[in-house]
Amino acid sequence: MTDGPVYWNPVLETYPLEKIRVLQLKKFNKIFQWAYDNSKFHRKLYHEAGVGPDDIRTLEDIQTIPKVDKSAMQDIQRKDPFPYGDALCVPLEEVTEYRQTSGTTGQPVYQPDTWQDWEWWSESWAYLLWAQGYRPHDRVFIPFGYNVFVAFWAGHYGAEKIGCEVVPGGVLDTRARILKIQELNATAMMGTPTYILGMADTAVNEMNLDPSQLTISKITCAGEPGASIPSTKRRIEEAWGAKVYDHAGATEIGAWSYECLEQPGGMHVNEALFLVEIEDIETGEIIEKPGRRGKMIITAFDRQAQPCIRFDSKDIIEWDANSCSCGRTFRLIKDGVVGRADDITKVKGVLFAPSAVEDVVRGLDGLGNEYELQIDTVDSREQISLQVELMPEAETRRETIEAELSDQLRLKTNLHYDLKFRKYGELPRYQVKANRFKDNRNNL
Cβ proximity to Zn ion: between 3 and 379 the closer is 3
Q: What is the DSSP string of 53-95?
A: GGG--STGGGGGSPPB-HHHHHHHHTSSSTTTGGG--S-GGGE
- Scanning 34-42, 149-157, 326-334, 355-363 for contacts with Zn ion by CB under 5 A, the matching segment is 326-334
Break the chain down into helix, strand, coil percent, rounded to 5. Answer: 35, 25, 40
- Scanning 162-170, 260-268, 391-399, 415-423 for contacts with Zn ion by CB under 5 A, the matching segment is 260-268
- Scanning 256-264, 269-277, 283-291, 376-384 for contacts with Zn ion by CB under 5 A, the matching segment is 256-264
At how many degrees (to 10) do helices 354-363 and 398-413 cross? 150
Cβ proximity to Zn ion: between 20 and 357 the closer is 20
Work out how close the CB of 326 gets to Zn ion at its nearest, in angstroms, rounded to a whole number.
3
Is residue 260 involved in binding Zn ion (CB under 5 A)? Answer: yes
Work out how close the CB of 332 gets to Zn ion at its nearest, in angstroms, rounded to a whole number.
7
- Scanning 233-241, 253-261, 335-343, 430-438 for contacts with Zn ion by CB under 5 A, the matching segment is 253-261
Cβ–Cβ < 8 Å for 135, 2? yes
Cβ–Cβ < 8 Å for 332, 323? yes
Residues that bind Zn ion (rule: CB under 5 A) add up to a total of: 5
- Scanning 23-31, 114-122, 321-329, 390-398 for contacts with Zn ion by CB under 5 A, the matching segment is 321-329
Cβ–Cβ < 8 Å for 132, 255? no
Cβ proximity to Zn ion: between 60 and 262 the closer is 262
Count of CB atoms situated within 10 Å of the CB of 409: 20
Work out how close the CB of 266 gets to Zn ion at its nearest, in angstroms, rounded to a whole number.
9
* CA pair distance 417, 384, nearest whole angstrom: 5
Query: Which listed residue (37, 119, 238, 262) binds Zn ion by CB under 5 A?
Result: 262
Work out how close the CB of 66 gets to Zn ion at its nearest, in angstroms, rounded to a whole number.
33
- Scanning 245-253, 319-327, 377-385, 415-423 for contacts with Zn ion by CB under 5 A, the matching segment is 319-327
- Scanning 10-18, 136-144, 324-332, 356-364 for contacts with Zn ion by CB under 5 A, the matching segment is 324-332
Q: What angle do CA 55, 61, 64 make, to 5 degrees?
A: 90
Task: State the binding string over 328-347 for Zn ion (x if CB under 5 A, else -).
Answer: x-------------------
Count of CB atoms situated within 10 Å of the CB of 427: 17
Sheet harboring 367-378: ordered strands across?
Answer: 418-423, 381-390, 367-378, 437-439
Residue 393 backbone phi and psi in degrees, to 5:
-70, -10
Cβ proximity to Zn ion: between 210 and 262 the closer is 262
Query: Which listed residue (324, 337, 367, 401) binds Zn ion by CB under 5 A?
Result: 324
Cβ proximity to Zn ion: between 154 and 326 the closer is 326
Count of CB atoms situated within 10 Å of the CB of 144: 24
* Residue partners of 388: CB distance under 8 A and separation at least 6: 361, 367, 368, 370, 371, 405, 419, 420, 421, 422, 427
Q: What angle do CA 71, 225, 136 make, to 5 degrees?
A: 105
Q: Which of residues 120-179 bind Zn ion (CB under 5 A)?
A: none
Cβ–Cβ < 8 Å for 217, 242? yes
Task: State the binding string over 266-305 for Zn ion (x if CB under 5 A, else -).
Answer: ----------------------------------------
- Scanning 258-266, 271-279, 314-322, 408-416 for contacts with Zn ion by CB under 5 A, the matching segment is 258-266
Which 3 state secondary structure label does DSSP give 385?
A: strand
Is residue 10 involved in binding Zn ion (CB under 5 A)? Answer: no
Work out how close the CB of 222 gets to Zn ion at its nearest, in angstroms, rounded to a whole number.
17
* 303, amino acid identity: R
Cβ proximity to Zn ion: between 322 and 440 the closer is 322
Cβ proximity to Zn ion: between 13 and 358 the closer is 13
Query: Which listed residue (45, 189, 219, 326) binds Zn ion by CB under 5 A?
Result: 326
* CA pair distance 39, 84, nearest whole angstrom: 11
Is residue 189 involved in binding Zn ion (CB under 5 A)? Answer: no
Work out how close the CB of 230 gets to Zn ion at its nearest, in angstroms, rounded to a whole number.
17
Work out how close the CB of 178 gets to Zn ion at its nearest, in angstroms, rounded to a whole number.
31
Chain contacts with Zn ion (rule: CB under 5 A) = 260, 262, 324, 326, 328
